[in-house]
Structure 1
Amino acid sequence: MKHDHPALAAAAETRHESAELHVTGQADYTDDLALPEGALHAWLGLSTVAHGTIRRLDLDAVRAAPGVVGVLTAADIPGRNDVSPIGRNDDPILADGAVMFHGQPIFAVIAETRDLARRAAALARVDYNALPLVLDAEAAIAAGGDLVVEGMTLRRGDPEAAMAAAPRQLAGRFAIGGQDHFYLEGQIALAIPGERDEMTIFTSTQHPTEVQHMVAHALHVPANAVVVNVRRMGGGFGGKETQMNLFCCVAAIAARKWRRAVKLRPDRDDDMIATGKRHDFLVDYTVGFDDGGRIHAVIGDWHARCGFSADLSQAVTDRALFHGDNAYYYPAVRLRSHPLRTNTVSNTAFRGFGGPQGVIVAERIIEEIAYATGQDTLAVRRANLYENGQLTPYHQTVEDMILPRLLDELESSCGYGARRQAVLDFNARMDAAGSPIRRGIALTPVKFGISFTATHFNQAGALIHVYADGSIQVNHGGCEMGQGLHTKIAQIVAEALGVDIARIRVTRTTTEKVPNTSATAASSGTDLNGMAALDAAETIKARLTEFLCAARKVTPDQIRFAGDRVTAGEDVIAFEDLAQLAYLARVQLSATGFYATPKIHWDRKAGRGRPFFYFAYGAACSEVSVDTLSGEYVIERVDVLHDVGRSINPALDKGQVEGAFVQGTGWLTSEELVWDDTGRLRTHAPSTYKIPLASDRPKVFNVRLAEWSENPEATVKRSKAVGEPPFMLGISVFEAIGHAVASVAGYRIAPRLDAPATPERVLMAVGRLRGAAA
């Protein structure tokens, strides 16, 4: 990657702090930790019905099985039997009398080995009184729409009147599928009891503080008795924000009961069955527009399959509405969420946190208008882009709209105009030749708000120690899950203190060093923890500056930290020498840092405020080939231009964009969740659930960062978040598939593909359009 800015070039050369450990297999994950002497293993017994009451629970054979130390049920929980992240008391650790989904944990076996625990669990005999099932959003709507948590309404203007006055209208329903996180490292917890009521947890979680609180509640002890440690995760994607709580609590309860370390690691099948997914939605939308394709009004209702408990469904469905406009201005708008209760596992956080399910509806609306007016979808997108000064549906003013420049640059660099014409010409030739192959192309933008919409989560802390030998230890509240957060934090501290990054060691995330942390989520890891670490580094730097001013009789403007040395007037001091001198002079070389995101506020009841500190932008152009006889497709080429502000580490950021794009494409093409009529998840293993493979990547994959961009807000180094926004660029593949399908009817009918666009759905859409055009 070529960089015009020398700082960007230097930053790009800073590789991931664990890269060598990853590729050599030396990186320690929770499952790699040496177990204490006498450690036990736990295994969960899961419900085999989706809704019912437990008439009889016979665990005698389980207790008598070889190697079994004991069994836990709800009655064995000393404290609160609940892991609801919002305190609704609706998410039991172990089912107590009633089961609400197939795969709900009912009991836990504790045995000398994992295999013995697993074998023993299969000996349980459970009799149920079956109750009626509600398994998806459509069934929930038909049953009266029981809400698992209160929905939200965003409204601006008079959408009903604007809709009635619009020259043209259309309406539709869009089914948007869910997604399994499919992290490489599954859920895992190791609990080690200590003195008195102390408990130490090693786990793979995005939210150590929440695990701390949940374990403390389950054990009925104060939070200061529980320490949670996370060195790294083998992927999270939101699936380890709340879902890890149950596993940690079971391990901790067992460790307390038997006063021995207990490890719980489910296999992939149980992991997929018992943990939540991305929310799937049914969205009803109506749009009023004119002959030029300009939107006059939008009314939309997002119906979500949330599962049996609230989990994070309120915040997820809220964010779906926040992004229901994507990059487009709706002069009059009403958007509503309906978080529906179903007898399935409770859905949870997933990369984008509801945002993708909002953005894709905005793109569906644009697509509908384009086919209705006979225009290129890109022309309709451009016609409806936000302008600075316009209000979102939640009444936040858009002030940093850079999409026109991004689209201009990408459209030019990828040759969109010529390629689109080539696609049209190709399809005409294939049609004339009787070939089933069609091509499609689409260029889609994304505008994504950055901040936790729960305002109090927008805070972070850090702790930095400078040792007398000049080495530096950094601890912060964020969790490393492969995204390079620790690397960026190390870069920030190294630059602030003017030292070589080799001096910096970022230690494991632990609740005993930085308290009350927020989840590493909402793309905020670097924004929050980077600023907290910078605050701590600046405090130490100020102390060293004050010391040098007194010791060397210089003024602050004569002191410079750079190149692993400190210049004080005429003197040049190696950093390790300065650290030793400061130590001998009794200068405090340890500091805490703190950061709280400014400017944000949100009134959910009124549907007004500034929930986001800033917006991140991006655009992608995708071209596909579709076989209209089989519904199969190939991604021929993808060009991405993404905005990360002033990148702290372009290599890491580019990797995040690439990974997010592929994961977003998987959500919309191959990753399909299927439950049968009994509520059993049938796609619960790699054999039945298809994530993108290396062979599914685009044949040509060009990814660039908008190096001219700089965050107008005072973020760390003027950078922007990168974890979630590029996920939605995969929508361009979905739209390109739709464009290819529309060719069979002369581009006169909107394809209205549901997601994911599996080959089966593509084939059915081709048949439907051919029938309508006949």
Structure 2
Amino acid sequence: MRSLIDVKKASSNSDKSVVNGQDNVGLGGVGRSKKHESADKQVAGEAIYVDDRPALRGELHAAVGQSTIAHGNILSMDLSAVKSAEGVIAVITVEDVPGHTDIGPVFPGDPVLAIGKVEFIGQPLFAVAATSYDLARKAVKLAKVEYEELEAVLTVKVALAKQNFVRPPFTMKRGDSESAIANAEHQLSGEIVVGGQEHMYLEGQVSTAEPTEDGGMNIHTSSQHPSEVQKLVAEVLDIPLNKVLVDMRRMGGGFGGKETQAAPWACIAALLANETKRPVKFKLGRMDDMIMTGKRHPFENNYTVGFDANGQIKGINIEVNGNCGYSPDLSDAIVDRAMFHSDNAYFLDQATVTGNRCKLNTVSHTAYRGFGGPQGMMTIEMVMDEIARHLGKDPLEIRKINLYGGEGRNETHYHQEVEHNNLPEIIESLEESSDYQARRNAVTEFNANNAILKKGIALTPVKFGISFTVQHLNQAGALVHIYTDGTIHLSHGGSEMGQGLNTKVAQIVAEEFQVDVDTVAISSARTDKVPNSSPTAASSGTDLNGKAAEAAAKTIKQRLIDFACETYQVSAEQVKFANNNIIVGEQTFSFAEFSQIAYMGRVSLSSTGFYKTPKIHFDRATGKGRPFFYYATGAAVSEVIIDTLTGEYKTLRTDILQDVGHSINPAIDIGQIEGAFVQGMGWLTTEELVWNEQGRLLSNNPATYKIPAINDAPEDFRVALVPDAPNREHTIYNSKAVGEPPFMLGMAVWSALKDAVASVADYKVSPVLDTPATPERVLFAVEAMKAQS
């Protein structure tokens, strides 16, 4: 694992502020490593999550009855035994919903409770409120439901054959790909199955709803999108939004799984609370959570490519087919992003990319770290490996030949220019620092001398677009107060899910006033403090909320400067903020002292702040625009070893170089990179979702679904940040997003596994290795290689 020496090296520029170059004297502002604001409480078990809140007087517990078939009409539902069960206070069906019955986040199709039919195993049919968690769960099992079973669509290929889509297909096009492919010196085609992924957050889905005296509802929820929960709760209850308050202090992980899919449980809790006029808590058990909530979309992609003798792509057709489950949810935007990122880091001169949103009778799949980008990138990374094996070259050589860069090679297939492209430099630097070429030769020699164990190595880049592709979501608000003792209160629209967002935004406010970050207190994300907030997703949490908080702080700061100038007869240039002080001409006041003076002078010490991302636009009708404000870039080298008799493998070493611009908090950024990489590696290796022929999820608990453990992480793990690399766009302190981009670096492990398998046939054939590349799939790929060697 990475040593402390590596941390120090990666964070070597973190001892000075990126704003004014001041030494770190304890102020903990921007550019300095600062531990997570809840770290001590989390380690001590004192951090309060929704389920940790003390029970409210008369609090009830919710559960739902679930469909037992994948597709069918509901003929009858006898709930008499449920209603008479011990502890049951209320039972509701969709007929008891006073307002909207569809809670689809963008497009309709997600009933809060089933309406006449069911479309996946586990779909909620009715809801129960009982005096205890166990009694509620026992009661729902007593329902007697009769169905007229209908044909279930359970594979992408069947959905494509039936043209069964949740949204219409969409195509992005640049040039004439068909002619370019036909006229190219070489052609290849292929397909890849890219598996889905369970979010496996530590804290499951949980919400509490408490009726208020004015007919409203207070909601505490583990959600990445409190404003959406507010809106949907108001709609199902048929009450105004101003009567619903949503409070979200922290989540125990989200990864996208709580962007839209936290809302149903809050809505059901609110419906039961409205029915009983008592508080209701609804938390899902782990197995129910895995069955009833969506995953990362599985994809089945295919391509046809034409290229020259050097391996440079001349034309390509890519089709990405997303398994969306039964409803639209966020699938339209997710498949769009898969299409946007089908180029990854490579210039596709003549390209046609088509995306299909396939409807299946499974749980509706949803947002997950990368939001479709990883599934899109997998196809082009497969293409790089296929071209290399076809031409007998190192895959890295093919990747470098096809990189964006050079005259006329910086426009994407959706017609956005790739500006400030540093990928060639990142790859060159990583290739040198990781000793890639020497290790490539050593791997080849090792494989020539070992019949059973084989090694593989791969270097893969990532170019990831930053912004919500739905334009109106690229906005944020914040609220900042300064109290008369000089302490600061901060609230913003983002959700803290362990990623350190609150810590970073507090650092930004502390930097603006040049005060110790520990004087900045961060409250919950609350819809009555910061309204109409966007979800914390798309790697934009710090970009958006940090800018909004900065705007609020600057407003107050300017008021203080104006007051100082008027009161002490100095110019604005003579007012300085430094080291917890405000210097006014020849006088120095502590920040607390001057806050009191400003209050006495009737200066407003409170302000909201707002930010909207500039420059972004996209015309879906033409498939052209600038959907992303900028690109985050990075690269990884991974080396693996496999056992050709069993398919077992180990990641021996991983080197990562990631561009985060001017890092706001290097320690948190490095932690995000490490975690994202391991999660991405898990997606591509061990995390296998399995449904049976009836559409029932079999990998529905931690015993049947394997996330990476500590021994799966690389034995030698080296992470570095690109030094002195400010974002050329005007982001918050010229930083770059870090949440999602490193996730895709896990592709280096998959490519390295393919490299090891390819050595079995002397690298003359490119192996078929769908994901997740479990030991079984690696073994099957080895056996296929042996048959061709």
TM above 0.5, one fold?
yes
CA distance in 2, matches of 1:136, 1:569: 73
Out of 324-333 and 147-156, give the one that drifted further: 147-156
CA distance in 1, matches of 2:422, 2:377: 18
Counterpart contact for 2:90–2:275, Cα < 8 Å: no
Equivalent residue in structure 1 for 2:379, among 346, 349, 361: 361
Map of 1:181 onto structure 2: 199
Aligned partner letter, 1:173: E
2:566 is aligned with 1:547:
no
Query: Counterpart of 1:152 in 2: which secondary structure?
Result: strand
CA deviation vs aligned residue, 1:4-50 (integer Å, no higher than 9, x gap): 46426844431110000010000000000112110000011111100
Counterpart contact for 2:252–2:497, Cα < 8 Å: yes
Map of 2:126 onto structure 1: 107
CA distance in 2, matches of 1:324, 1:369: 16
CA deviation vs aligned residue, 1:54-93 (integer Å, no higher than 9, x gap): 111111111111111011111111111111011x321001
Aligned partner letter, 1:154: M
CA distance in 2, matches of 1:83, 1:7: 48
Aligned partner letter, 2:53: L
Counterpart contact for 1:386–1:401, Cα < 8 Å: yes
Query: Counterpart of 2:653 in 1: which secondary structure?
Result: strand
Query: Counterpart of 1:217 in 2: which secondary structure?
Result: helix
Question: How far has the Cα of 1:672 moved from its partner?
Answer: 0.5
Question: How far has the Cα of 1:145 moved from its partner?
Answer: 2.1
Where do 1:369-768 residues align within 5 Å?
Answer: 369-387=387-405, 390-431=410-451, 436-768=452-784
CA distance in 2, matches of 1:385, 1:253: 53
Out of 720-729 and 384-393, give the one that drifted further: 384-393
Aligned partner letter, 1:701: F
| Structure 1 residues not aligned, in runs of 5+ | none
CA distance in 2, matches of 1:139, 1:673: 19
CA deviation vs aligned residue, 1:239-280 (integer Å, no higher than 9, x gap): 000001100000000111111000000100000000001001
Question: How far has the Cα of 1:468 moved from its partner?
Answer: 1.1
Counterpart contact for 1:301–1:337, Cα < 8 Å: yes
CA distance in 1, matches of 2:14, 2:511: 16
Question: How far has the Cα of 1:708 moved from its partner?
Answer: 2.2
CA deviation vs aligned residue, 1:636-689 (integer Å, no higher than 9, x gap): 000001010000000000000000000000000000101001110000100100
CA deviation vs aligned residue, 1:114-141 (integer Å, no higher than 9, x gap): 1110111111111111110111212212
Map of 1:121 onto structure 2: 140
Map of 2:28 onto structure 1: none
Q: Tell me the C-alpha RMSD between the 2 structures.
A: 0.9
Counterpart contact for 2:459–2:636, Cα < 8 Å: yes
Q: Percent identity?
A: 53
CA distance in 1, matches of 2:643, 2:257: 34
Question: How far has the Cα of 1:550 moved from its partner?
Answer: 0.8
CA distance in 1, matches of 2:268, 2:257: 18
Query: Counterpart of 1:139 in 2: which secondary structure?
Result: helix
Map of 1:94 onto structure 2: 113
Map of 2:20 onto structure 1: none
Map of 2:362 onto structure 1: 344
Counterpart contact for 1:152–1:605, Cα < 8 Å: no
2:151 is aligned with 1:132:
yes
CA distance in 2, matches of 1:64, 1:58: 12
CA distance in 2, matches of 1:630, 1:266: 38
Map of 1:74 onto structure 2: 94
Equivalent residue in structure 2 for 1:282, among 278, 295, 300: 300
1:426/1:596 Cα in 2 relative to 1: closer, same or farther (>3 Å)?
Answer: same
Map of 1:7 onto structure 2: 16
CA distance in 2, matches of 1:449, 1:151: 22
Counterpart contact for 2:14–2:33, Cα < 8 Å: no
CA distance in 2, matches of 1:733, 1:326: 17
CA distance in 2, matches of 1:585, 1:695: 61
CA distance in 2, matches of 1:771, 1:42: 56
Out of 764-773 and 454-463, give the one that drifted further: 764-773
Question: How far has the Cα of 1:595 moved from its partner?
Answer: 0.4
CA deviation vs aligned residue, 1:465-498 (integer Å, no higher than 9, x gap): 1111111100100000000000000000000011
Aligned partner letter, 1:106: L
CA distance in 2, matches of 1:281, 1:225: 41
Where do 1:102-251 residues align within 5 Å?
Answer: 102-142=121-161, 144-251=162-269
Counterpart contact for 1:151–1:318, Cα < 8 Å: no
Question: How far has the Cα of 1:504 moved from its partner?
Answer: 0.2
CA deviation vs aligned residue, 1:342-398 (integer Å, no higher than 9, x gap): 000000000000000111111001011000011100000000000166210100011
CA distance in 2, matches of 1:151, 1:567: 61
Runs (4 or more) in structure 1 with deviation over 6 Å come to none
CA distance in 1, matches of 2:692, 2:152: 11
| Structure 2 residues not aligned, in runs of 5+ | 1-7, 18-22, 25-30
Aligned partner letter, 2:91: V
Counterpart contact for 1:151–1:317, Cα < 8 Å: no
CA distance in 1, matches of 2:751, 2:301: 17
CA distance in 1, matches of 2:15, 2:136: 57
Query: Counterpart of 1:767 in 2: which secondary structure?
Result: helix
Counterpart contact for 1:151–1:314, Cα < 8 Å: no
Map of 1:57 onto structure 2: 77
Q: How many residues align?
A: 767
Counterpart contact for 1:468–1:580, Cα < 8 Å: yes
2:10 is aligned with 1:25:
no
CA distance in 1, matches of 2:416, 2:179: 23
Query: Counterpart of 1:330 in 2: which secondary structure?
Result: coil
CA distance in 2, matches of 1:532, 1:428: 58
Query: Counterpart of 2:720 in 1: which secondary structure?
Result: strand
Counterpart contact for 1:395–1:608, Cα < 8 Å: yes
